[in-house]
């Protein structure tokens, strides 16, 4: 018999195979014993529910039972029987138990009690064995699957854009360098500067901050594409919303204008959230309960009005508010928050960049709905965004979510070569390096648009977790790259 002839707990709960002999494999969550019987709660990660195994000391040796401690990995063969206890329809009467892997109770860090998320971050190699983290990662999987399903069903093509690039898409400069040079002793040219011509790629390279520019090239051939890959930003912002390594989804569409882009983004976000509601009910109910307990530790006036599931349904069922940056500035400037100087950054004039506190005010206090903000001043946006006729704004859109702030950033792209190069000159972006990007504007240019969704911010929203470090398996943040 092949080793992996086992039945997953999820399958047992679906099929309820009373009377049949089956083999289970998984990790012990808890064990309770008296002299007549032991109850082992086993979890194999297929579903949040533990499965109860009943072990009779007349059949299973004391030595084996002793090793069935929290964290140990077991292979159990037995008969499925109707359960006596409440809450579960069946349980397994063990005929034999094999210890696949022991877990010394003196040393195993996860105890059957509530651990803080901070503590669990320090043992990220084990934290997926908790209910909270296994739920988060099953939901994360479902969301990733929904992303691919959405685009595939719409006829978009998945493009794998490079991770090592020579361009810094936004010119923001927050990149990680990629080199094979010996750090203390890089070759130098006569003027003393590091001679990247001798480096691996014959030029200076870094980890990508966005696949957009390459995505645009693909859209100019395949019409509708998306990327979904890792993205890196060396920004030293230690927030609950930023990672140094995160996953970004970037659709890019030929023949879309700004409004088409907004419609797609809204439809896409709702689809993905709806998919989680339809397919992750058990995990979301558990996470909703967790979020509620956390809410209840906050002062009453800071608690959110909706529970997690209600919040997700609310987003799916209501239209997002759409307004321009200029309208938003008016709202913010006239807000009590601003008048009473309660914003850390007061809104004084048109042109100011919006901080997360402003975004959250609009979404959480003023509209109480997701918001699509459009037509930002060109000074605070990237060079490739399409210039509006007013000469001041560009066809940008940011989508703001409650509790998250910016979840999507996008725009209609500037397809007019003269406007694009003029903007690059103004912003000191070297055109020689982006000759290939400019070629799309030279040969067969067309209106097109796209956006970027930070995948972890979506997972954060759907799971109701409070810190982005808790929705990616092994977070990379300033000072952290242990696992």
Q: Give contact residues for ligand ATP (rule: CB under 6 A).
A: 233, 235, 241-243, 246, 248, 406-409, 452-454, 456-457
Q: Are strands 90-101 and 51-55 parallel, antiparallel or unpaired?
A: parallel
Closest CB to ligand ATP among 122 and 235? 235
Instruction: Strand 177-178: give its sheet, edge to edge.
Output: 164-165, 205-207, 177-178
Longest Cα–Cα distance in the chain: 85
Q: Smallest distance, Å, CB 309 to ligand ATP?
A: 23
Give the residues across from 26 on adjacent strands.
Answer: 74
Q: Which is nearer to ligand ATP, 72 or 460 (CB)?
A: 460
**Shortest spacing between CB 326 and ligand ATP, in angstroms:** 19
Residue 215 or 454 having the CB closest to ligand ATP: 454
Rounded to whole angstroms, how far apart are CA atoms 117 and 294? Answer: 11
CB of 406 to ligand ATP, least distance (A): 4
- A 10 A CB-CB count for 190 gives 6
Task: Give the CA distances from residue 100 to residues 127, 145, 175, 395, in Å, rounded to whole numbers and listed in that order.
Answer: 20, 32, 44, 59
- Considering beta carbons, is residue 241 or 423 the nearer one to ligand ATP? 241
CB of 321 to ligand ATP, least distance (A): 17
Residue number, 28 or 408, with CB nearest to ligand ATP: 408
Q: How far is the CB of 170 from ligand ATP (least distance, A)?
A: 6
- The 3-state secondary structure of 25-90, one letter per residue: EEEEEEEEECCCCEEEEEECCCCCCCEEEEECCCCCCHHHHHHCCCCCEEEEEEEEEECCCCCCCE
- Rounded to the nearest 10 degrees, what angle do helices 435-442 and 417-426 cross at? 150
Give min distance, CB of 459 to ligand ATP, in A. Answer: 10
Residue 337 or residue 355: which is nearer to ligand ATP going by CB? 355
Dist. CA 217–CA 208, nearest whole Å: 16
Least distance CB 88 / ligand ATP (angstroms): 39
Burial class (CB in 10 A: 0-12, 13-18, 19+), 418: exposed
Smallest distance from ligand ATP to CB 473, Å: 15
Given the complex with ligand ATP, which of 196 and 455 has the nearer CB atom? 455
Residue 139 or 408 with smaller CB distance to ligand ATP: 408
* CA proximity to 311, closest of 130, 87, 463, 184: 463
């Amino acid at each position: 018999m092949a080793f992996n002839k086992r039945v997953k707990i999820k399958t047992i709960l679906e099929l309820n195979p009373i009377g049949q002999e089956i083999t289970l494999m998984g990790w012990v969550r808890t064990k309770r014993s008296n002299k007549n019987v032991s109850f082992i709660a086993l979890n194999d990660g297929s579903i949040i529910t533990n499965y109860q195994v009943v072990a009779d000391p007349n059949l299973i040796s004391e030595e084996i039972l002793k090793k069935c401690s929290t964290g140990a990995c077991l292979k159990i063969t037995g008969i499925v029987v109707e359960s006596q206890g409440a809450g579960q329809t069946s349980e397994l009467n063990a005929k034999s138990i094999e210890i696949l892997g022991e877990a010394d109770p003196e040393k195993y860090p996860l105890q059957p009690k509530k651990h803080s998320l901070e503590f669990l971050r320090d043992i990220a190699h084990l934290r997926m064995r908790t209910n909270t983290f296994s739920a988060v990662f099953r939901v994360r999987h479902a969301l990733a699957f929904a992303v691919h399903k959405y685009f595939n069903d719409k006829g978009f093509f998945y493009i794998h854009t490079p991770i090592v690039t020579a361009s810094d898409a936004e010119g923001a400069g927050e990149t990680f360098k990629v080199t094979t040079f010996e750090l203390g002793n890089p070759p130098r040219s006569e003027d003393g500067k590091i001679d990247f011509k001798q480096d691996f790629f014959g030029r200076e390279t870094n980890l990508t901050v966005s696949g957009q520019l390459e995505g645009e090239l693909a859209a100019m051939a395949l019409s509708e594409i998306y990327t979904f890959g890792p993205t890196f930003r060396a920004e030293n912002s230690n927030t609950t919303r930023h990672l140094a390594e995160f996953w970004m989804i970037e659709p890019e569409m030929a023949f879309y204008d700004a409004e088409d882009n907004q419609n797609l983004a809204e439809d896409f976000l709702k689809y993905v959230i709806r998919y989680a509601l339809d397919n992750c009910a058990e995990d979301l109910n558990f996470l909703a309960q967790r979020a509620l307990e956390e809410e209840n530790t906050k002062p009453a006036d800071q608690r959110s009005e909706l529970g997690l599931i209600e919040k997700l349904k609310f987003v799916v069922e209501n239209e997002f508010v759409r307004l321009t940056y200029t309208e938003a500035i008016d709202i913010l400037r006239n807000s009590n928050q601003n008048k009473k100087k309660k914003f850390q950054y007061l809104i004084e004039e048109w042109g100011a960049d919006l901080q997360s506190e402003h975004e959250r005010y609009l979404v959480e206090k003023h509209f109480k709905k997701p918001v699509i903000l459009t037509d930002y001043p060109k000074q605070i946006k990237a060079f490739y965004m399409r210039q509006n006729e007013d000469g001041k704004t560009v066809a940008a859109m940011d989508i703001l979510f409650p509790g998250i702030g910016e979840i999507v950033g996008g725009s209609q792209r500037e397809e007019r070569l003269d406007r694009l190069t003029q903007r690059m000159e103004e912003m000191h972006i070297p055109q020689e390096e982006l000759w290939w990007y400019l070629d799309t504007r030279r040969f067969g240019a067309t209106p097109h648009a796209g956006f970027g969704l930070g995948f972890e911010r979506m997972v954060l929203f759907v799971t109701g977790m409070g810190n982005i470090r808790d929705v990616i398996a092994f977070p990379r943040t300033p000072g952290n790259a242990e696992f």
